[in-house]
Amino acid sequence: MIDRTRHHPDEPEIAALRSRLEGLTGPQYWRSLEELAATPEFEHYLHREFPEQASEWLDPVGRRRFLQLMGASISLAGISGCVFQPEEAIVPYVRAPEHIVPGRPLFFATAAVHDGFGLGVLAESHMGRPTKLEGNPDHPASLGATDAITQASVLTLYDPDRSQVVTQNGRVSTFDNFLNRLIGLRTELLASKGARLRLLSGSFTSPTLARLMSALFAPELFPDARWHFHDPVGHESSRLGSQRAFGRELATLQHLDKADVVVALDADLFGWGPQKLVHARAWADRREAAASDPTAANRLYVLEPCPTVTGAAADHRLPLPASQIAAFTLALAHALGIQGLPPAPSGSFEALSAIADDLKAHRGRSLVVAGEAQPPEVHALVHAINQSLGNVGQTVTYHEPILVRPAADRAGTLGELVNDMNAGAVDVLVILGANPVYDAPADLRFRDAYQNVPHRIHLGLYLDETAAVSTWHIPEAHPLEAWGDVRSFDGTPTIIQPLIAPLYNGRTAIELISALVEGNPRTPRDLVQETWRSGRESTFDAFWTDALVRGVAGEPAPAVAAELRPLNDLSIPAQSDGLELSLRPDPSVWDGHLANNGWLQELPRPITKLVWDNALQLSVATAARLGLKTGDLVELTANGQTLPRVAILPVPGHADDALTLTLGYGRTEAGRVGTGVGFNAYLVRTTDAPWVVSGVTLRPLGERYELATTQMHFNIPNPNVEAERRGLIRVATLDQFARDPHFASGDHGSPGHGDDQHDAADHNGADHPDESAFRRTRTKGKLGGHHPDDRLILFEYPEPMARRNNGEGNAWGMSINLNTCIGCNACIVACQAENNIPIVGKREVLRGREMHWLRIDRYYASRPGTSPTANPKIHFQPVLCMHCETAPCEVVCPVAATTHSAEGLNEMTYNRCVGTRYCSNNCPYKVRRFNFFTYADHETTSLKLQRNPDVSVRVRGVMEKCTYCVQRISAARIASEIAGEPRVPGNAVVTACQQVCPTRAIVFGNLNDPSADVVRLKADPRDYGLLTELNTRPRTTYLAKLTNPNPAIEA
């Protein structure tokens, strides 16, 4: 730059001027400055802006050049800015990875792990991102279906609250630091043969982990170490029950497909246990077969304290407090004439003899199952009952245990671990995935004992309650991130293959144990391959490929014979007096490890439709007796343990004088979603009473708590009466169905027959209070009837086939079978995962703004002559967009944002929607969902990875609803167009809800293909549409429900 202040007089011009003046001799006067100024030099000087020697811009087009340079320098300044740009390598696929076609997903067979058991899945991967899990049809535990929890596990993978870094005493560290420390500890421990080493994990079935465990206990390593097991839910009762009955541990498998009569003793067959999907499929297949072949009919009795999906599916559901199940079982065993048992209990049980007779009439084709929440003694009794009924080998088989246990002297319980810790006998405790600080029984005071251990190493997905008080926390890899293996309920192994590199450098349990075994961790892939290579070195490569492709790496465990031991010294737990509390895993967050999963938190619980909370459930009568109503807060005390506050939720059908509370809530370190939600049931759980707590006292706190439910947000006299009057759910017994196959569509002579929910009343010709109102509406010949002629339809669409393109091309439709729907919720989460449906949170649900495209309506149907809430029948009805052929929503949209496609889809154009909500108001099914706020998370990076790229993420202010998975339809249409087919084959499109359904209750397809399953189902006499009298012509129709009650009980 030019510094003008340095402009000095003795610069050239001045000097020249001076010399010129000095060179003058004599009195040469200059008259004026003008004269002096007239000199060319001076003139030059005056006209120059800058001194002579300053660097000047002499280019004639200086201004342009200047601007050019300035522009360039600005651009260069951008390039060489102060921010250091990280090096980004953009590398094209020089050799494209096999099979990857951008925009087209790949599916990899792997397995999801729940309570130690594997469920085979096919993981959908979009450009390296797993976005959704589908069931693996080749896997025995899946049969192509999955449950809600498995569907939601993909969200856990991308949970931004997962722990992301190794911590030491709460400070960020590295895995290498940890390894160094671990190797150091290993050396110390080796000296004492591991006497002060303890490991704690949940039950597992992984063959690799089992191999490493054996290696760990090798004589030269840590033979004196102990491996403790802690499962908040687990399989202890059935394990110990088989030990009690047979003298050794056996896995018990039930086969509902072979059972004509099933008695579930507090057993949630379809909601709990590694066999639940298999049970649901087998039961549903039999149930559906009975519609065409009455001899295939099965009958399900359920005795349970709190209604479950299994109870809702039962032909006879008997509410019974959990503590009385044992006595019932013993009485049942006596009624069946089994010898060598403790004396029969006093007292009588409803329906006991009828059930016993039914069982006796179906020897070898019956099945009795005890639930995991029942004590081992009940399991032992059930083994005896099945044995005496000749069911073993038929409906029940025994197998070598699937769960891995070390030798008895090396295995321990959590209680033993706590004793050792308190005694200071533990130096190093490695916790593999468990969270005992949160979910250990309260009487153990695990947290205090844990502090006595100098080296507390925790491996987990989250920085949870246990991680917070551990010395080391290692982020765990999600099963979709790492290699592993697992076995299913029947022993079928599956190799778990990663779909994505660990997002947060997570490690697996097998890596940690291998570090202890070998002093150096090996990669999970090596470890798993080593396990599976042994014995098949030569054929390993073929085996490995085959196992990965099929998702099945071996055969199920063979059945073994088991000899029953005498049971006459069996101590049947006494029935408790007063209130008792049943603890249950939560249908959504289970034992609590899923608490930070928003999809599960917002998933309406099957029966209560409660979201974002657990609540103390009890019968309506008991609540009335105690003077409690929904939302009252009470303090619960039992066994010296106190739950300071818990909200009350009366549930129709709950056993009297019993309470039920689900586990998994009240987390304090779950993450942003799960922390502080609900009430912690573990506070009143003790080692001795893990499932049933007796002697409970409640103290009302006089405070209220808002519980959010997605159905019945309020109290209207009795919505179920209205539901009944409107014929929304149509049910008949098999007898009624045989006499009048068209009961649902009403195509029969006597209106009001059969479709009444009071099937028992109808069956016996009895009347009941609601009957008159029901008939009155109907006999007027108006809308209440289901007979086509009964219905007053002002305008019948003249040519129904015209709406189906006269049979050309595609016409989409769906059939939902209420006969087999068990209300398990898997479809809701599948829909959520597939269609990028956001969660809205408890407050928004309270305002009635949940976003699920698919909901499962639950209705109660009371029995005649009984209290409507004592033991009503429970019916489920999945409701999604009906895709009405004459859709009421379409006419009222002012901007044509919802329109009808040529294929019969009711389409929603999000970009066109301005959000008047008129369509939702006018939808008689209320299946439309509105983005009142920006519900979708557009910010969190990791959650973006989960999104289905084929489905748009909606913005605030637009309406959305079920699309029949239009993205899947489009993919199939493109494929069939490429193949040159005239129409998409009838069964080619599988919607997300259909795919996940364990009972195959949802069937979707092309109505214009006569071979489509949906066409066959819609021709079924049980087919009926919802609110068809409105002339909406829904493309989604239902198959009516059939029940098979025992006449001896109903009489």
Partner 1 sequence: MAQATLRHDETGDVPVLGPGHTYGTVTDKISSIVLTEPPRPGWIFGFAVSFVLLLMFLFAVLNLLVRGIGIWGVNVPIGWGFDIVNFVWWIGIGHAGTLISAILLLLRQDWRTSINRFAEAMTLFAVSCAGLYPLLHLGRPWLFYWLLPYPNTMALWPQWRSPLIFDVFAVSTYATVSLLFWYVGLIPDLATLRDRAKSRIGKVIYGFLAMGWRGSARHWHRYRTAYLLLAGLATPLVVSVHTIVALDFTVGIIPGWHTTIFPPYFVAGAIYSGFAMVLTLSIPLRSYYGLKDFITDKHLDNMAKVMLVTGLIVTYGYLMEAFMAWYGGNPYEEFMILKDRPTGPYAHTWWLLLLCNCTIVQLFWFRYFRTHPIWLWVISIVINIGMWLERYVIVVTSLHADFLPSSWGMYHGTIWDYMTYYGSIGLFLTLLFLFIRVLPVISITEMRELVHEVHERGHARGGPAVTPGTAHP
Only segment of 447-455, 506-514, 712-720, 740-748 that touches partner 1 (CB under 8 A): 712-720
Residue 704 contacts partner 1 per CB under 8 A: no
Find the binder of partner 1 among 419, 642, 916, 942 (CB under 8 A). 916
Burial of 190 (0-12, 13-18, 19+ CB in 10 A): middle
Distance CA 538, CA 703 (A): 70
Residue 925 contacts partner 1 per CB under 8 A: yes
Binding mask 1005-1034 for partner 1 (x = CB under 8 A): ---------------------xx--x----
Contact 318, 305 (CB under 8 A): no
Amino acid (one-letter) located at 335: A
Q: Across the strands, what pairs with 1038?
A: 816, 1024
Residue 915 contacts partner 1 per CB under 8 A: yes
**Closer to partner 1 by Cβ: residue 528 or 610:** 610
Give residues with Cβ within 8 angstroms of 438, minimum separation 6: 464, 465, 466, 592, 667, 668, 669, 680, 682
What's phi and psi for 133, nearest 5 deg?
A: -110, 135
**Closer to partner 1 by Cβ: residue 21 or 895:** 895
Distance CA 239, CA 440 (A): 19
**Closer to partner 1 by Cβ: residue 265 or 879:** 879
- Joined together, the tokens standing for residue 531 give 């396990």
Amino acid (one-letter) located at 462: Y
**Closer to partner 1 by Cβ: residue 155 or 893:** 893
Only segment of 446-454, 759-767, 923-931, 987-995 that touches partner 1 (CB under 8 A): 923-931
The one-character DSSP state at 728 is -
- Joined together, the tokens standing for residue 247 give 């003298």
Residue 924 contacts partner 1 per CB under 8 A: yes
Instruction: Tell me how far the alpha carbon of residue 878 is from its chain's centroid.
Output: 17
Distance CA 396, CA 907 (A): 49
**Closer to partner 1 by Cβ: residue 278 or 1040:** 1040
Find the binder of partner 1 among 956, 970, 982, 1048 (CB under 8 A). 956
Distance CA 783, CA 1021 (A): 20
Residue 777 contacts partner 1 per CB under 8 A: yes
Distance CA 803, CA 780 (A): 31
- The residues in 483-512 that bind partner 1, with binding defined as CB under 8 A, are none
Question: In whole angstroms, how far apart are CA 922 and each of 823, 884, 893?
Answer: 27, 12, 10
What would the DSSP string read from start to end of 87-109?
P------SSPPTT-BTTB-EEEE
**Closer to partner 1 by Cβ: residue 119 or 856:** 856
Q: Which contiguous run of DSSP H or E holds residue 357?
A: helix 352-360
E strands of 50-146, at which residues?
Answer: 106-114, 117-126, 129-135
Distance CA 477, CA 603 (A): 25
Integer-rounded Cα Rg, in Å, for the chain is 36
Smallest gap from Cβ 919 to partner 1, in A, equals 8
Residue 844 contacts partner 1 per CB under 8 A: yes
E strands of 630-787, at which residues?
Answer: 632-638, 641-650, 658-662, 692-704, 708-709, 731-733
Find the binder of partner 1 among 127, 917, 1013, 1023 (CB under 8 A). 917
Smallest gap from Cβ 653 to partner 1, in A, equals 17
- Joined together, the tokens standing for residue 999 give 């009972």
Residue 422 contacts partner 1 per CB under 8 A: no
- The residues in 873-912 that bind partner 1, with binding defined as CB under 8 A, are 877, 879, 888, 891-896, 912
Find the binder of partner 1 among 149, 547, 913, 992 (CB under 8 A). 913
**Closer to partner 1 by Cβ: residue 543 or 910:** 910
Only segment of 347-355, 586-594, 925-933, 1010-1018 that touches partner 1 (CB under 8 A): 925-933
**Closer to partner 1 by Cβ: residue 322 or 1030:** 1030
The residue behind tokens 């008259």 is 31
Residue 928 contacts partner 1 per CB under 8 A: yes
**Closer to partner 1 by Cβ: residue 818 or 989:** 818
Q: How far apart are the first and last CA of the chain?
A: 108
Count the site residues for partner 1 by CB under 8 A.
64
Residue 931 contacts partner 1 per CB under 8 A: yes
Smallest gap from Cβ 933 to partner 1, in A, equals 4
- The residues in 557-596 that bind partner 1, with binding defined as CB under 8 A, are none
Only segment of 169-177, 537-545, 857-865, 991-999 that touches partner 1 (CB under 8 A): 857-865
Find the binder of partner 1 among 783, 828, 881, 882 (CB under 8 A). 783
Find the binder of partner 1 among 932, 985, 1013, 1023 (CB under 8 A). 932
Distance CA 324, CA 305 (A): 9
Residue 413 contacts partner 1 per CB under 8 A: no
Distance CA 15, CA 27 (A): 21
Find the binder of partner 1 among 377, 476, 857, 950 (CB under 8 A). 857
Residue 784 contacts partner 1 per CB under 8 A: yes
CA dihedral 785, 788, 790, 791 (to 10 degrees): 80
Only segment of 54-62, 589-597, 620-628, 719-727 that touches partner 1 (CB under 8 A): 719-727
Only segment of 79-87, 149-157, 546-554, 918-926 that touches partner 1 (CB under 8 A): 918-926
- Joined together, the tokens standing for residue 200 give 């704690």
Only segment of 410-418, 522-530, 824-832, 929-937 that touches partner 1 (CB under 8 A): 929-937
HEC per residue, 784-833: CCCCCCCCCCCCCCCCHHHHHHHHCCCCEEEEEECCCCCCCCHHHHHHHH
Determine the 3-state secondary structure of 416 from DSSP. Answer: helix
**Closer to partner 1 by Cβ: residue 3 or 939:** 939
Residue 711 contacts partner 1 per CB under 8 A: yes
Distance CA 267, CA 329 (A): 12
Find the binder of partner 1 among 719, 949, 985, 1021 (CB under 8 A). 719
Question: In whole angstroms, how far apart are CA 523 and each of 40, 217, 966?
Answer: 89, 21, 41
**Closer to partner 1 by Cβ: residue 637 or 916:** 916
Residue 782 contacts partner 1 per CB under 8 A: yes
Find the binder of partner 1 among 2, 561, 712, 1019 (CB under 8 A). 712
**Closer to partner 1 by Cβ: residue 642 or 899:** 899
**Closer to partner 1 by Cβ: residue 825 or 931:** 931
Q: Report which of 321, 189, 211, 336 is spatially closest to residue 266, judged by C-alpha positions.
A: 321
Distance CA 56, CA 241 (A): 100
Smallest gap from Cβ 916 to partner 1, in A, equals 6
Smallest gap from Cβ 1029 to partner 1, in A, equals 9
Find the binder of partner 1 among 703, 933, 938, 940 (CB under 8 A). 933
Smallest gap from Cβ 726 to partner 1, in A, equals 7
Smallest gap from Cβ 957 to partner 1, in A, equals 3
Instruction: Please state whether beta strands 692-704 and 906-908 pair in parallel, antiparallel, or not at all (unpaired).
Output: unpaired
- Joined together, the tokens standing for residue 16 give 């020249």
Residue 713 contacts partner 1 per CB under 8 A: yes
Q: Report which of 912, 830, 170 is spatially closest to residue 472, judged by C-alpha positions.
A: 170
Smallest gap from Cβ 719 to partner 1, in A, equals 4
Distance CA 203, CA 401 (A): 12
Smallest gap from Cβ 714 to partner 1, in A, equals 5
Give residues in contact with partner 1 (CB under 8 A).
711-717, 719-720, 722-723, 725-726, 728, 777, 780-784, 844, 847-849, 855, 857-859, 877, 879, 888, 891-896, 912-918, 920-922, 924-926, 928-934, 956-959, 1026-1027, 1030
